[in-house]
Amino acid sequence: MEIRSHRFRVVDILLLCGVILPPVLGMVIKILTNSPSGGIEISGARIYFTLDLPFQSLPITEAQVNSWLVVISIFFLCLYLTHGLAVKAVTKRQLLAEWIVKTTENMISGNMGDYFIKVARGAFAPFVAGIMALSAFSSLLSLLGLYAPTSDINVSAGWALLVFILITYYKMKCGLPHYLKSFAEPVAFLTPLNVISEVATPVSMAFRHYGNILSGSVISVLVASALQGLSSMLLGWLPGFLGDIPFLQIGIPAILSLYFDIFGSLLQAFIFAMLTMLYVSGGFAIDDWELLQAKKKQKLQTQQ
Amino acid sequence: MQNLEVISVNLWQILISLCNLLIIFLILKKFLYAPVKKMLAARQAEIDSDYAAADEARRAAESDRAAYAEKLSAAQAEADEMRKRAVADAEHRSDKILAEAKEKADSMVRAAENEIALERQKATDDIKKEIAEVSTQIAGKLLEREIDENDHRELIDSFIDKIGERS
C-alpha cells in the first residue's frame, strides 16, 4: 500500500473535524443557553429566536439547529468516505462507502422492483439512504445529550410530506383520471375511506417516527426522576452528602438509553425508509403504466 | 429562553425539514453515490478489459498451439515419409544386391558344372582310350597277334560302352 501524502492526511483530518465539530457545536450552544430549572419538565425544543414570516411566525429552535448540524456532519462524512477512492486500493472507508451504496441499491431492487433502480437516474437509492441517515443521526444526537430533532413533530412531518408528494407523483404517473379512479376501488362507496387512508399515510408515518423517539426520551426522563426519588428514599439515611447522591441513577438509565436511543433510533430510521419504499412502489401501478407506454408507442408508430 | 409545546405544528418548520431531507438527498447523490458509482464503473471497465485481454491471450495461445500441432504432425508425416522411402530404398538395394549375388553365384556354379562336365567327359574319353589301348594290348598279347586298332575300333567301343553301363 502506498504511503499517503501529508496533504492527504491533512485533508482527512479536516474532513473528520467537519464530521465531529457540528455535534460539539450543538453541545456548546446547549450549555451556553442552558437555563437551570428545577424538577422534571417535558416540553418541546428550546426556542432560540423567532422570525416573523407570513402565515405563521417561525421559531428557530433546537430541532432546526440540530438538524442543520446533522446535515453538515453527514456532508463531511460523505466527503470523508469518498476521499481517496481508488479502483484498486481498498481502504476500510472505501469498503464502507461501497457497502452503503450496494446495500441500499439492493434494498431498492428487492423492495421496489428493478424499475425503481433505473428511474430518475438511480435517485431512489440516495433518497432512501438520505432518509435513513438523517433519521438515524438525528435520533442518535440524544446520545450526546442534545435534543433529537426527530422528537419534534414538524421534522418528521416534513419528511412524511415529501414522501407523500413522491407517492402521489407515482400514483399520478398513469394520468389524473387513473389516479382519481383508484379512489373508487374496489367499490364506489368506499371512496371516503380511501381518501382518509390516503391522508393517513403521511400522518401515520410522521406520528410513528416522532412518537417513538419522543416517548423514548420521555420514558428516560421519567425513569431517571423516579430512580432519583427511590434513591433518596432508600439511601437518604446515609450520613452527610452521601445521602444526596442518587446512587440508583448510575447505570440503570444507561440500559434504557441503549434501547431507546440506539436500538429505537436505528429501528425507526429503518422503518421510515422501509415504509417509504413500500408506499412509493405500492402506489405505482407498474402494469397499467407499461400498458400505457405500449399504447403510446403503438400510436406513434401508426402516426409515422 | 422559552420552550415549544410538545406538539406544536408549524408550517415553516415542516418546510425546513422537508428541505433538509432534499439537501441530504442531493448531498448523498452528489458526494457519495456519484463518486462510488463512478469508481465501480471504472472497476467494472477494468475487469472487463482484463477479461477481454485474457480471452485474447487464450485465443492467441490456442491458435499457436494449433499451429504447432499442425507443424508437428507435418514434420512427423515428413519423417515417416522419409523413413518409408529409406526403407524402400534399402529393400530395393538389398534385393538388387541379392539378385546380383545370386546371379553371380549361379553363373559361377554353372561354369563350374560345365567345367566339371568337360573334365568328366575328358576323363571318360581318356579312360576309354586307355582301356582301349590296354585291352588291345591284352588282346594282342592273348592272340599273339597284332590287332589293328583301327579295324576293330567299333567293336572295342561297344565293349567299353557295355563296361561303362555296368559300372
The tens digit of pLDDT for each residue in A231-286 reads: 878 877 777 677 677 777 777 888 888 888 889 899 999 999 999 999 988 888 77
Q: What is the pLDDT of residue B85?
A: 94
Q: What percent of chain B has pLDDT over 90?
A: 60
Inter-CA distances, A33 with A11, A62, B1, Å? 33, 11, 8
> What was the pLDDT predicted at A20?
92
Asked if B39 is an interface residue toward chain A (Cβ–Cβ < 8 A), one would say yes
In angstroms, the CA A67 to CA B7 distance is 18
Cell, residue B52: 477481454
What is the distance in angstroms between the Cα of A163 and the nearest Cα belonging to chain B? 9
Chain B closest-CA separation from residue A152 CA (Å): 7
Q: Inform me whether the pLDDT recorded for A18 exceeds 70.
A: yes
Determine the Cα–Cα distance for residues A113 and A20; give it in Å rounded to an integer.
Answer: 37
C-alpha cell at A259: 434501547
Residues of A within 8 A of B24 (CB-CB) are 71, 74, 130, 133-134
In a domain, A98, yes or no: yes
Q: What is the pLDDT of residue B144?
A: 67
Nearest to B21 by CA among A280, A103, A164, A201: A164
Neighbours of A218 (CB within 10 A): 16
CB < 8 Å to B49, chain A = none
**Of A209, A162, A148, whose CA–CA distance to A26 is shortest?**
A148
Instruction: Determine the pLDDT at residue A285.
Output: 79
Helix ranges restricted to H, chain A: 6-32, 62-81, 92-112, 115-118, 124-140, 153-171, 176-181, 191-235, 252-257, 264-283, 286-303
pLDDT tens figures, A157-187: 999 999 999 999 988 888 888 888 888 877 8
B6, B12, B35: residue with CB nearest A43: B6
Structure-model confidence comparison of residues A159 and A221, the more confident one: A159
**pLDDT at position B112, please?**
92
Give me the interface pTM, i.e. the ipTM: 0.86
CA-based nearest residue to B25, from A94, A139, A74, A19? A74
φ, ψ (nearest 5 deg) of residue A50: -125, 130
For residue B7, list chain A residues with Cβ-Cβ distance below 8 A.
44, 153
- Sequence-separated (6 or more) residues with CB below 8 Å from residue A178: A172, A285, A288
Q: Does B41 touch chain A (CB under 8 A)?
A: no
CA distance A1 to A12: 17
Q: Inform me whether the pLDDT recorded for A40 exceeds 70.
A: no
Give the pLDDT band (50/70/90) at residue B106. Answer: very high
SS3 state at B27 = helix
Instruction: With beta carbons under 8 A apart, name residues in chain B contacting A67.
Output: 16-17, 20
Round the average pLDDT of chain A to a whole number and report it: 85
- Give the residue ranges of DSSP H helices in B7-33: 11-28
Angle at B8 between CA A261 and CA A206, to 5 degrees: 55
Grid cell listed for A70: 446533522
Percent above pLDDT 90 for chain A: 31
CB A141 within 8 A of CB A148: yes
Domain limits for position A18: 6-31+48-303
* Residue with cell string 400514483: A171
A109 part of a folded domain: yes
Is the pLDDT at B134 greater than 70, yes or no? yes
Q: What is the pLDDT of residue B138?
A: 82
Over residues A48-57, the mean pLDDT reads 82
Rounded to an integer, what distance in angstroms lies between the CA atom of residue A96 and that of residue A104? 12
Domain limits, chain B:
21-166
The DSSP bridge partners found for residue B3 are: A46
Mean pLDDT across chain B:
87
Mean pLDDT value of segment B123-151: 77
Number of domains comprising chain A: 1
* Average pLDDT over every residue of A40-61: 79
The residue of chain B nearest to residue A94, with distances taken between CA atoms, is B36
Residue A39 domain flag: no
Q: Residue B37: its chain A contacts at CB < 8 A? A: 101, 122
- From chain B residues 45-64, the ones with a CB under 8 A of any chain A CB are 46
Q: How far apart are CA A285 and CA A171, in angstroms?
A: 7
**pLDDT value, residue B63:** 94
CB contact under 8 A, B31 and A82: yes
At B30-88, the pLDDT tens digits run: 999 999 989 999 999 999 999 999 999 999 999 999 999 999 999 999 999 999 999 99
The predicted structure's pLDDT at residue A1: 44
Q: Which of A75, A80, A166 to mutate to test the interface with B (most CBs of B within 10 A)?
A: A75
- Please tell me if residue B28 touches chain A, with a CB cutoff of 8 Å: yes
Q: Is residue A41 part of a domain?
A: no
Q: For residue B154, how many other CB atoms are within 10 A of its CB?
A: 9
Instruction: Inform me whether the C-beta atom of residue B33 falls under 8 Å from chain A C-beta atoms.
Output: yes
> Which residue in the set A47, A75, A100 is minimally distant from B4, CB to CB?
A47
**How long is chain B?**
167
Does residue B29 belong to the interface with chain A, where contact is any CB pair within 8 Å?
A: yes
Does A189 map to a domain? yes
User: How far does the CA of residue B50 sit from the closest CA of chain A (Å)?
Assistant: 13
- If residue B122 lies in a helix (H) or strand (E), which one and from where to where? helix B34-143
Q: How many interface pairs between A and B have CB atoms less than 8 angstroms apart?
A: 152
C-alpha cell at B115: 567345367
pLDDT band at residue B146, thresholds of 50, 70 and 90? low
Are B36 and A82 an interchain contact pair (Cβ–Cβ within 8 Å)? yes
Say if the Cβ atoms of A47 and B3 lie within 8 Å.
yes
A229: in domain:
yes
Mark yes or no for CB contact A87/B42 under 8 Å: yes
Quick one: average pLDDT of A196-219? 90
Q: Return the C-alpha cell found at B99.
A: 539378385
A46 strand-pairing partners: B3
- B59 by Cβ neighbours in 10 Å (0-12 / 13-18 / 19+) ranks as exposed
| Confidence tier at B109 by pLDDT (50, 70, 90) | very high
Q: Which pLDDT tens digit goes with each residue over B15-40?
A: 999 999 999 999 999 999 999 989 99
